[in-house]
Amino acid sequence: MATQKAVELNAPVALHWFRSDLRLADNPALLAASRSASHVIPVFIWSPEEEGQWPPGSAARWWLHESLQQLQQALAARGSRLLLRRGPTVPALLELAQQTGATLVCWNNRYEPAARKVEAQLGTALRAAGVMGLGFASGLLAEPGTVHSRTDAPYQVFTPFWRAFLDQVQVDAPQPSPRALPAPRRWPMSLALRQLALLPEIAWHQCLARHWQPGETAARAVLRKFVTQRLDAYELLRDRPDLDNTSQLSPYLHHGELSPRQVWTAVGKASERAGQSPTQWRRSKFCSELIWREFAAQQLFHHPALPDRSRLAQFDRLAWRNDARDFAAWSRGRTGFPIVDAGMRQLWQCGWMHNRVRMITASFLVKNLLHRWQDGERWFWDTLVDADLASNALNWQWVAGSSPDAAPWFRIFNPLSQGQRFDPEGAYQQRFVPEAGTAVYTAPIVDLGRSRQRALDAYKALRESK
């Protein structure tokens, strides 16, 4: 990570390249640009082709559209603007640097394989053009490689990673917003937001707008509500989809409207006001969820094929059924199992699903229906507003049992008992599946006992085929 001293360059013009950091506060690259240049030009480049096989899905694109609109307004309030350009990124930034006389380009690092490739290409091109390029740490509490084992090998299992993280990582306080973003005398051309064509062609996104308000201002409000009203009961109630007690911070973290440092610090301050010691709150269940996010990012960093191939390669040889009709029933919330159908309908209507129900629905697809996890991962990728490449991939592999740190194959969630345990009054299921229990409700598409045994037999055959 570049330091503040390293970027005090007195540059005439600096470009700040916005990416998954759509905020002004605790944005080290933006702060560095503001402190190092006479004029700052913020720019966002839409280049989904550079994301490889994983361009943003439909729900994430809607969120991005709304968040960019909020960012434009926040910058305008400071006398600045957000330039919008289309990619490819490297020629777009080089052209903008040439047009404006910029001698510095700042950005916050990303860790997905395709994004790292673009960063490397950009660094080479900027050096050749005589422009300084600086990347900063912003999206994680600890950069990949910071948390290390005694042998310096990356951790493959979460629990020792979690322990090492708590021992090795000191989370710095969030940085302030720039005091000023001095505008250039003349602004270069910018596309209009509508020209990026981020909104879905069908009106599906209007459902999302009823449930979410993207943007940095909304993100701060959601964080305040969580630490003041929900944090105390988080560990006790977090598995109850019928109760509104999750943080709902994941989309704001994914799009960078909040930094993980802001969340970590806010949780720490609230916990200490409630009488907890730093040791206690850092080991809390909520903080372990933040550290799981760090673990997922590290896994993707060291294993770029994580979203596409099973970490334990033998799972790619399992006798998957991959029945298209089963998958369609699952994705539409018409399996005949209320907790599964409620989750899948919540996903479609809200662009989000309760974490406990994510596990239930994923287990049902992979094990009861014997459908490969990659197809479920793709569906979540397109429909989740918080679709994060590392977390989505690792979570699906955890359920499928196909990574070194995963639920064992024989752990098959029973959707009936899970619904009774975590939605005891049936309120969540009734909300999204009001016809459950009536004559018009879909008949179950599988027998739970037989489908469970089929999954166990498939895994047994896989092990015996070694």
Residues labelled catalytic? 289, 292, 320, 355, 373, 396
Q: Three-state DSSP class for 31? A: helix
Where do we find the tokens 């010691």?
277
Tell me how crowded residue 145 is: count the other CB atoms within 10 A of its CB: 11
194 residue type, one letter? R
Half-sphere exposure at residue 13, Cβ-oriented, CA atoms within 13 angstroms: 18
Is the CB of residue 122 less than 8 Å from the CB of residue 12? no
Is the CB of residue 83 less than 8 Å from the CB of residue 96? yes
Is the CB of residue 402 less than 8 Å from the CB of residue 320? no
Give per-residue burial for 163-187: e unless 16+ CB within 10 Å, then b. Answer: ebbeeebeeeebbebbeebebbeee
Q: Is the peptide bond before 214 cis (omega within 30 degrees of 0)?
A: no
Where do we find the tokens 């709304």?
66
Nearest to 208 by CA among 384, 73, 343, 71: 384
Tell me how crowded residue 142 is: count the other CB atoms within 10 A of its CB: 19
Distance between CA atoms of 271 and 285, rounded to whole angstroms?
A: 12
Distance between CA atoms of 1 and 53, rounded to whole angstroms?
A: 28
Which residues does 387 contact at the CB level (< 8 Å), separation at least 6? 56, 57, 59, 60, 254, 380, 381
Q: Where are the alpha helices (DSSP H) in 315-372?
A: 324-331, 338-350, 355-363
